[in-house]
């Protein structure tokens, strides 16, 4: 008897599903691939692959569902959706390209800040030759998981003084690591604060006036995790009061960032449209195919989310 095939439903509301369908259909373990929205009978679907948001009522059409995978690194869109069942595994994408791209983006932000790159560009417009000096920077990474842990190593390799903060204690060569009981000490020693925490009930709004005020005067913020980690008005207030020197932001409460949002025109804020690290179907499909094989062979799926922790 041949191996069982898995029927899959893809819901990629903001992405073109074509590359995912093509990639998945090359696996001999994949049966039918459905793309939401569809009127077809989905009662044999065992795997649901989602990038946000998932339409209401989808789950109730999937009585055979055994596994849900986010098509990105984040799972906040699933954790906050009441229709998502809690009795089947939920996995997410962990992919070397995603990890490398994130580290490169943040390195770019840190170095642009260190070298006053915005000012150099403004000076070029005026044909002004001004050799701006720069200092060594202490960079702190909040969240030392797949993305933050790799970033901390890359920052150290690039010559920065690096510290990191996470729920549990980590050991990373060259990086001063703090656990969740030492947040204030971590914050007090920084020139740049990078946020790579997941969104959970504990971390929503964590980048607020109280926390950001604990950084030294002149600290710069890079938020590449989620928009709702940040209290926008607190950031603007702290920049206006010259406590923070500025920010680079890739993620926002509302995306696309509304045209009239004050971040767009602020001369100390750099805005990018959620492009710090984008899942590429070509490389993420390797993990999905590995997990399809594991589902068929009834072995534990890779990169499962801890439903109690929420990430
Ligand atoms: P991981 O789950 O691998 O790592 C999360 C880290 O955060 C862990 O070190 C964890 O600590 C720590 N953490 C979680 N909650 C707390 C808390 N309450 N206090 C202190 N530390 C905490 O996530 P990834 O590194 O893969 O991804 C991080 C986030 O990056 C994603 O959730 C997503 O939102 C965002 N992202 C943004 C992208 C973009 O393009 N802008 C692209 C991809 C992801 P511990 O290890 O001790 O549990």
Per-residue pLDDT of the chain (311 residues; tens, 9 = 90+): 556 899 999 999 889 999 999 999 999 999 999 999 999 999 999 999 999 989 999 999 999 999 999 999 999 999 999 999 999 999 999 999 999 999 999 999 999 999 999 999 999 999 999 999 999 999 999 999 999 999 999 999 999 999 999 999 999 999 999 999 999 999 999 999 999 999 999 999 999 999 999 999 999 999 999 999 999 999 999 999 999 999 999 999 999 999 999 999 999 999 999 999 999 999 999 999 999 999 999 999 999 999 999 99
Task: State whether the beta carbon of 164 lies less than 6 angstroms from ligand 1.
Answer: no
Residue 3: per-residue pLDDT: 64
Q: Are 90 and 210 contained in the same domain?
A: no
Task: State whether the beta carbon of 225 lies less than 6 angstroms from ligand 1.
Answer: yes
- Has residue 183 been placed in a domain? yes
- Has residue 305 been placed in a domain? no
* Mutation to probe ligand 1, out of 166, 171, 178, 224 (largest number of atoms < 8 A from CB): 166
Q: Are 209 and 121 contained in the same domain?
A: yes
Q: Are 82 and 209 contained in the same domain?
A: no
Closest residue to atom 3 of ligand 1, CA basis = 145
Residue 14: per-residue pLDDT: 81
Q: Are 290 and 265 contained in the same domain?
A: no
Q: Are 244 and 153 contained in the same domain?
A: yes
Q: Are 167 and 252 contained in the same domain?
A: yes
- Has residue 52 been placed in a domain? yes
Q: Which residues are the active-site residues?
A: 226, 274
Rounded distance, CA 101 to CA 136, Å? 23
> Cα dihedral angle (268, 269, 270, 271), rounded to 10 degrees?
-160
- Nearest ligand 1 atom to alpha carbon 168: 47
CA of 82 to the centre of ligand 1 (A): 22
Residue 13: per-residue pLDDT: 84
Q: Which of 75, 35, 40 is nearest to 55 (CA)?
A: 35
Q: Are 198 and 247 contained in the same domain?
A: yes
Q: Are 131 and 240 contained in the same domain?
A: yes
CATH number of the domain where residue 186 is located: 3.40.50.720
Task: State whether the beta carbon of 91 lies less than 6 angstroms from ligand 1.
Answer: no
Rounded distance, CA 89 to CA 303, Å? 10
Query: How many structural domains comprise the chain?
Result: 2
- Has residue 226 been placed in a domain? yes
- Has residue 306 been placed in a domain? no
Q: Are 102 and 242 contained in the same domain?
A: yes
For 23, the domain range is 6-95+279-297
- Has residue 103 been placed in a domain? yes
CA of 255 to the centre of ligand 1 (A): 20
CB 229 within 8 A of CB 195: yes
Task: State whether the beta carbon of 272 lies less than 6 angstroms from ligand 1.
Answer: no
CB 112 within 8 A of CB 134: no
Q: Are 74 and 110 contained in the same domain?
A: no
Closest residue to atom 5 of ligand 1, CA basis = 145
Burial classification of residue 196, based on how many CB atoms lie within 10 Å of its CB (0-12 exposed, 13-18 middle, 19 or more buried): buried
- Has residue 59 been placed in a domain? yes
CA of 214 to the centre of ligand 1 (A): 21
Q: Are 52 and 147 contained in the same domain?
A: no
Q: Are 173 and 108 contained in the same domain?
A: yes
């Amino acid at each position: 008897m041949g191996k069982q095939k898995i029927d899959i439903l893809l819901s990629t509301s903001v992405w073109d599903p074509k590359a995912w369908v093509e990639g998945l259909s090359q696996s001999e373990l994949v049966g039918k691939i459905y793309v939401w929205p569809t009127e077809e009978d989905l009662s044999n679907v065992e795997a649901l692959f989602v990038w946000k948001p998932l339409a209401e009522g989808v789950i109730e059409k999937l009585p055979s569902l055994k596994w849900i995978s986010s098509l990105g690194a984040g799972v906040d869109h699933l954790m906050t959706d009441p229709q998502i069942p809690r009795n089947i595994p939920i996995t997410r994408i962990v992919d070397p390209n995603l990890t490398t791209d994130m580290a490169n983006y943040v390195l770019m932000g840190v170095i642009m800040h260190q070298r006053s790159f915005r000012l150099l560009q403004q000076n070029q417009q005026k044909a002004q030759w001004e050799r701006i000096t720069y200092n060594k920077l202490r960079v702190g990474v909040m969240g030392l998981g797949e993305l933050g842990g790799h970033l901390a190593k890359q920052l150290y390799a690039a010559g920065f003084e690096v510290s990191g903060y996470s729920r549990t204690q980590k050991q990373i060569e060259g990086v001063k690591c703090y656990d969740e009981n030492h947040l204030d000490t971590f914050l007090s020693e920084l020139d740049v604060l990078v946020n790579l925490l997941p969104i959970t009930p504990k971390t929503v709004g964590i980048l607020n006036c109280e926390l950001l005020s604990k950084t030294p005067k002149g600290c710069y913020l890079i938020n590449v995790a989620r928009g709702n980690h940040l209290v926008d008005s607190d950031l603007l207030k702290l920049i206006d009061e010259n406590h923070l020197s500025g920010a680079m932001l890739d993620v926002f409460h509302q995306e696309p960032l509304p045209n009239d949002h004050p971040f767009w025109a602020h001369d100390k804020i750099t805005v990018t449209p959620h492009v710090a690290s984008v899942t590429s179907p070509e490389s993420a499909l390797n993990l999905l195919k590995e997990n399809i094989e594991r589902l068929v062979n009834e072995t534990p799926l890779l990169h499962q989310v801890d439903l109690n922790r929420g990430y």
